[in-house]
Amino acid sequence: MQILFTDTQPKNVRLNARIVNKGDSLADLDPALSEGSDIARFKGNPGQVFEGFVSVDGALSRVAIAGAGAADAADRRLNLERSGAGLTAKYLRSGETEMVLDLGFAGLNGDDAAAVLTGVFLRGWSLDQYRTKLAQEKKVSLQTVHVIGAPEGTQAAWEREAAIAKGVEFTKKLVTEPANIVYPESFVAMCEEAFAGTGAEITVLDEAQMTELGMGALLGVGQGSARESRLLAIRWNGGEKDEAPTVLVGKGVTFDTGGISIKPAPGMEDMKWDMGGAGAVAGGMLALVSRKAKANVIGVMGLVENMPDGNAIRPGDVLTTMSGQTVEVLNTDAEGRLVLCDALHWAQEQYKPARVIDFATLTGAMIVALGNEHGGVFANDDTLADQLLGAGKATNDKLWRMPIGPAYDKLIDSPIADMKNIGGRWGGSITAAQFLHRFIKPGTPWAHCDIAGMVWSDKPGHAHDKGATGYGARLIDRLVADNFES
């Protein structure tokens, strides 16, 4: 979607919209519209949209009023995003190709106005390219939003937000595309294209290089697939030259059958988004790079496909990780931690980070615990945990802190190896975090974000349609912006 700023009312655009606060008077509107909004019980609640029609110079014009909630609401920014998203949701497939959005109401400042535009833009993303017989009235029509009445500072604020939105869209695309389109090698190719010319440095390890490094866990997960595994690192040096980087590590299982411990057939198609952690890291990195963040950040993604052919790992096999620790595989469907453990160890060896945060659609137990409202965060450092919680609250990529500790750690001890890859029925998301913790070097601040319930949604959200939510990209950007930029 194209956002254009203009000083004058564009001609021949029949859809006009404005943002209002809860309780704002609409007396300046056409009397029929003002009365109609009362009849329709329009209150100006966040995301609520009222539509009416007026005749202007003999031509019929649509007028849309979007609510932004109370002007003094604590979550004002998110409410403004909902107001913009509400307009897009209503008119994206309406047949209208252009909309004039007047931001000269509701007492908005530049940052407020940019929040509205963020909602407008993010809610407009869709992937319809495979729907060759989609009815005309169901196709996306809205292409351009003309912005008038923008408060001072809006364009500068939107330039920053547009860079972040670009990252969110990239995450959505990676998560939405089917597994025959996004697999380890093509994931790398898509990132190489997205980051071309940005100044980011890309490193790719193939299977031969990972074998030489001893990444037996990551390679073990992928050995049942015809698709070769990859390790991808994207480095952005935007901070001080000698400053230790923040390292983000993403689970990138581009399709997860469960392997020999195969999943039930119903719902297995959803496992194309089991690379949502890697998608979040890629999108977050694109947001940081696009806005030239003043920080040193590296995104590392372990990319594999978990398939059950005759070469696949079996329950009972023992794998040797890059760290030298051994893992008894009791369930091949607990594969994400096997991918992450080698990626985490490699990232620490390679980059000597100031802190490490991993993102993964790791456990169904996380969805049982928190549903689809929060991701879980586990951490060995209270400051880092609080920084993640704050970034999640600010962006609506919400997190909830979960416990780790020695009592849980002993549940993954193995009688024949250093550890086993599952810890039994209880506390499944916690024992998965404990597994990862064993690969974090002493003294390194670390947090694990289990986002299994957050990367995909069966219903529209505040700034996304059904499907990929883009979760994690904005969280990463905000975490870095608020805490690690120079």
448-464 tens-digit pLDDT: 999 999 999 999 988 89
- In this prediction, residue 11 has a pLDDT band, given cuts at 50, 70 and 90, of confident
Least confident range of 51-55, 115-119, 151-155, 310-314: 51-55
* Residue at 292 is within a domain: yes
CATH value at residue 145: 3.40.220.10
Report percent pLDDT > 70 for the chain: 100
- In this prediction, residue 98 has a pLDDT band, given cuts at 50, 70 and 90, of very high
From the list 263, 398, 401, 441, the catalytic residue is: 263
Q: Do 142 and 171 belong to one domain?
A: no
Mean per-residue pLDDT, 212-216? 98
Q: Do 92 and 180 belong to one domain?
A: no
State yes or no: pLDDT of 57 exceeds 80: no
State yes or no: pLDDT of 429 exceeds 80: yes
Active site residue 263: yes
Count of domains in the chain? 2
* Residue at 271 is within a domain: yes
State yes or no: pLDDT of 27 exceeds 90: no
pLDDT at res. 12 = 87
Q: Which domain holds residue 78?
A: 2-152
pLDDT at res. 31 = 85
Q: Do 61 and 10 belong to one domain?
A: yes
Q: Do 193 and 62 belong to one domain?
A: no
pLDDT at res. 61 = 87
CATH value at residue 450: 3.40.630.10
State yes or no: pLDDT of 56 exceeds 80: no
Mean per-residue pLDDT, 432-442? 98
Mean per-residue pLDDT, 240-265? 97
Q: Which of 120, 152, 184 is the last residue of a domain?
A: 152
Active site residue 438: no
CB of 96 closer than 8 Å to CB of 15: yes
Q: Do 137 and 220 belong to one domain?
A: no
State yes or no: pLDDT of 486 exceeds 90: no
Least confident range of 21-35, 144-158, 387-401: 21-35
* Residue at 407 is within a domain: yes
Q: Which of 84, 118, 152 is the last residue of a domain?
A: 152
pLDDT at res. 29 = 84
* Residue at 251 is within a domain: yes
- In this prediction, residue 6 has a pLDDT band, given cuts at 50, 70 and 90, of very high
Q: Do 242 and 138 belong to one domain?
A: no
Q: What's the whole-number average pLDDT of the chain?
A: 96
- In this prediction, residue 173 has a pLDDT band, given cuts at 50, 70 and 90, of very high
Q: Do 267 and 364 belong to one domain?
A: yes
Mean per-residue pLDDT, 92-110? 94
Report percent pLDDT > 90 for the chain: 91
From the list 251, 337, 420, 478, the catalytic residue is: 337
pLDDT in tens, 349-372: 999 999 999 999 999 999 999 999
Q: Do 213 and 133 belong to one domain?
A: no
* Residue at 157 is within a domain: no
Q: Do 108 and 245 belong to one domain?
A: no
Q: Which of 102, 119, 152 is the last residue of a domain?
A: 152
pLDDT at res. 413 = 97
Q: Do 114 and 29 belong to one domain?
A: yes
Q: Do 96 and 235 belong to one domain?
A: no
Burial degree of 237 (CB within 10 A; 0-12, 13-18, 19+): middle
Q: Do 195 and 73 belong to one domain?
A: no
* Residue at 359 is within a domain: yes
* Residue at 231 is within a domain: yes
Residue 297 phi, psi (nearest 5): -135, 140
CB of 257 closer than 8 Å to CB of 263: yes
- In this prediction, residue 33 has a pLDDT band, given cuts at 50, 70 and 90, of confident
Burial degree of 216 (CB within 10 A; 0-12, 13-18, 19+): buried
